[in-house]
A and B are shown apart, each in its own frame.
Chain A
């Protein structure tokens, strides 16, 4: 961060650097750009106070945390909670459910905002385009409770509209909300309904930055719509896609607690129980804070590894990556 801050101003000074100590230059730089550094301070404090200091809380995972003893008095127990977690019979099921849902998300959900923004980009009529854009944003502002409630009304076997239609046609009803095999389909389709529109924001911004002259040139060369898409539009937003993909991997293990929790029923728990809901059951209802902190750390570590790996891979293929 600091480098970014003094880099633009630093170039002319760089020549004069030789011979003097680095610290001396640093102080000189700071004195000269004091106002810039002053503006940086609130940001630094924000990260220290709200991000770094609370991180001390992760030590809870290595303690037997007791609320009345606090962080400093609770006994240290090393990796006890991690050992318990990995030897838990449910561990395999939770891991599988979380990973499968995450894969489905990457496979079915992630590409859709790209497709949708490409489609919206092709719209000619500006007013119509704005209208569609606004329309697809709306579901994002509907809370999960309401979304699940709407799906419940539509899909329930007792007078649910969809099931009534199905019953008229086939004479059968399908318990979408109860059957384990429908669970993932429901979760992913709800995510798509709610978030796809919102996901187009960044892609549309990237698309707006594509130089129109390139399209003109391509048209003169006789390229059709598909050719333009393939050779101009997609390469132009490729780095955006990759960055968003890497960031997405950081949340790979986050399944969206609220959403899943609302959709869980006794009959789909074996495919629906994920780390997030497990942490809730253990941490909130059974008040085993240390154990649930250990589960949380495990999730974060996997997320970190995925981000580092994806970033390394992106750089290998000559892309920018996120840092």
Chain B
């Protein structure tokens, strides 16, 4: 009996040694195939455990799906993704930071709470290491400039275009009514009125709008008010003069004129009356069912058209740049959709940090660029000549997009020799966004340090965005609006302007 058992155990042991020898042999083969890995073959032998916290995009992909497997195999990691709903992402991250239970890699926004966490030294400063990583250091410096904190780099940005805003409009309606894309604010009013009241969908009912706003219409980088006011010559969030005096956008004439335009549009029911409570998803449905003429958007018009022609087969869309009386002018965005940072509490040693950075660097290798942008060949796309053709867009949306949107990639701007074959509209929109970068107006306060902003930036912002809504809805008049600005100044706005000035002058030296 005993003998038998010993024999059995012996053979099991033997089998495992042989098997593991085989698998390590395979690993080495794989390692020599990729140039990146061959530099440090010994460290690569054992997969690196890597926990990642990012925001949820669409549905949560199942664990161990083909994309995740391909990612893990190429980068030689054990990936453990945690997806957090986007709506409450920042709050959840704040709680995670407070509780100290952090993954090895996480997405954070460039917001006061994470900035102060960076200053307090919760995350690795990765700036000095970047030069050792060929792909990471090859990315344009401007993307990194926009996420610096006191001149230091703490994360890798999730790259995004800087001049995304374009005007997307119903070409069929505009052509039928003989309208052109608006430039001045008067144009905007006339065009929106003409489209909305001219019954463009010819159904005899007054059920069309010129444009729709959602409850975030005046918030963050994608604010419609900012985009329109910049096109009219206004500053991007903050204006700064030669002496370093800062003026918020809402104290400029261009911005006020834009607000007055929207007040008029609201009064005459040319925009949706419930804009201050409505979600962008609800508005998307109205756009995609053919009830609205025009939108200012950072997305691609093709996405909207694809859904729109299912409802209105005759619809056609076109795009135009944000053009004002003085030519194309649009707000420059930060160039990222957040950034990936490495917490010190979970990544204890420099060696481990280097492993995380190696993972990030590999994401910009050609193989991974294709995986994140196009998915798996044969499943999500096929190669045809100099292009790739998408095979199943829905599948791509479900399986690949979650990773594309949360891990670093720069589309066909980096390490992609065969771009995706796309529709003319898609390419036109894309080209416009790229050319937009020549016309962007930068936000001078983007990376400036301010104590009051950290402490009550959110409150101050809310005070003004609420007042803007009230003005547009006619709850307060011009005097009331001025009073709100005074209130803002007293509540910390004055201090904010001073602190920006001081930080700006300090940076300038």
Contacts and interface: CB of A to CB of B under 8 A. Distances in A.
A177 B274 contact: yes
How extensive is the interface on chain A, given as a class?
Answer: 20 to 34
Interface string A159-197: 000000000000001010110000000000000000000
A299 interface: no
A289 B465 CA distance: 25
A157 B271 CA distance: 13
Contact of A266 (B112, B457, B466, B490): B466
A287 B94 contact: yes
A173 B273 CA distance: 11
B195 to A, nearest CB: 18
Interface string B128-169: 000000000000000000000000000000000000000000
Contact of A89 (B278, B457, B491): B491
B274 A157 contact: yes
Contact of A158 (B91, B274, B457, B491): B274
Consensus secondary structure, chain B interface: helix
B95 A284 contact: yes
Interface string A72-113: 000000000000000001000000000000000000000000
A175 B100 CA distance: 44
Contacts of A285: 90-91, 94, 113, 458
Contact of A178 (B277, B456, B458): B277
Interface stretch (B29-37, B76-84, B177-185, B469-477): B469-477
A269 interface: yes
A21 interface: no
Nearest to A270: B466
A152 B277 contact: yes
A239 interface: no
B491 A67 contact: no
In which size bucket is the chain B interface? 35 or more
A288 interface: yes
A251 interface: no
A284 B91 contact: yes
Given A267-B469, A287-B113, A67 B98 contact: yes
A66 interface: yes
Interface in B171-220: 215
Contacts of B100: 67-68, 70
Contact of A177 (B97, B112, B277, B465): B277
B459 interface: yes
A265 interface: yes
Contact of B458 (A175, A177, A281): A281
A265 B273 contact: no
A266 B274 contact: no
A157 B273 contact: yes
B473 A178 contact: yes
Contact of B120 (A66, A89, A175, A177): A66
Contact of B113 (A152, A175, A178, A286): A286
Contact of A267 (B120, B272, B475): B475
Interface string B269-303: 00011101110000000000000000000000000
A286 B276 contact: no
B417 interface: no
Contacts of B122: 67-68
A267 B473 contact: yes
Given A178-B274, A266-B466, A67 B97 contact: yes
Nearest to A179: B475
> Looking at chain A's contact residues, is the secondary structure mostly helix, strand, loop, or mixed?
loop
A156 interface: yes
B121 interface: yes
A36 B215 CA distance: 59
Contacts of B94: 284-285, 287
A175 B491 contact: no
Given A68-B120, A284-B95, A285-B94, A158 B458 contact: no
Interface in A245-287: 265-267, 269, 281-282, 284-287
Interface string B444-474: 0000000000011111001001101110010
Contacts of B473: 178, 267
Contacts of B116: 287
Nearest to A69: B120
Most-contacted residue by chain B among A70, A173, A267, A282 (CB, 10 A): A267
Given A66-B120, A89-B491, A288 B455 contact: yes
A156 B274 contact: yes
Nearest to A70: B100
Interface string B90-119: 110011011110000000000011001100
A284 B120 CA distance: 18
Given A66-B120, A285-B458, A266 B276 contact: yes
A281 B113 CA distance: 12
Given A66-B120, A68-B122, A284-B94, A266 B273 contact: no
Contacts of A282: 459
Nearest to A263: B277
Nearest to B209: A158
B98 A289 contact: yes
A158 B456 contact: no
A287 B98 contact: yes
A178 B277 CA distance: 8
Contacts of A67: 97-100, 117, 122
Contacts of B278: 158
Contact of A286 (B95, B458, B469, B491): B458
A68 B123 CA distance: 11
Interface string B471-492: 0010100000000000000110
A25 to B, nearest CB: 47
A265 B216 CA distance: 11
13 contacts: A67-B99, A67-B117, A67-B122, A68-B122, A158-B272, A173-B273, A265-B276, A265-B469, A267-B466, A267-B470, A269-B466, A281-B459, A284-B95
**In the A-B complex, the 9 residue pairs with the closest CB atoms:** A266-B469, A266-B466, A287-B113, A67-B98, A284-B91, A287-B94, A157-B273, A265-B277, A158-B274
Interface of A: 66-68, 70, 89, 152, 156-158, 173, 175, 177-178, 265-267, 269, 281-282, 284-289
Interface of B: 90-91, 94-95, 97-100, 112-113, 116-117, 120-122, 215, 272-274, 276-278, 455-459, 462, 465-466, 468-470, 473, 475, 490-491
Given A282-B459, A285-B94, A285-B458, 11 more contacts: A66-B120, A67-B97, A156-B277, A178-B277, A265-B469, A266-B469, A267-B276, A267-B466, A269-B466, A284-B94, A286-B459
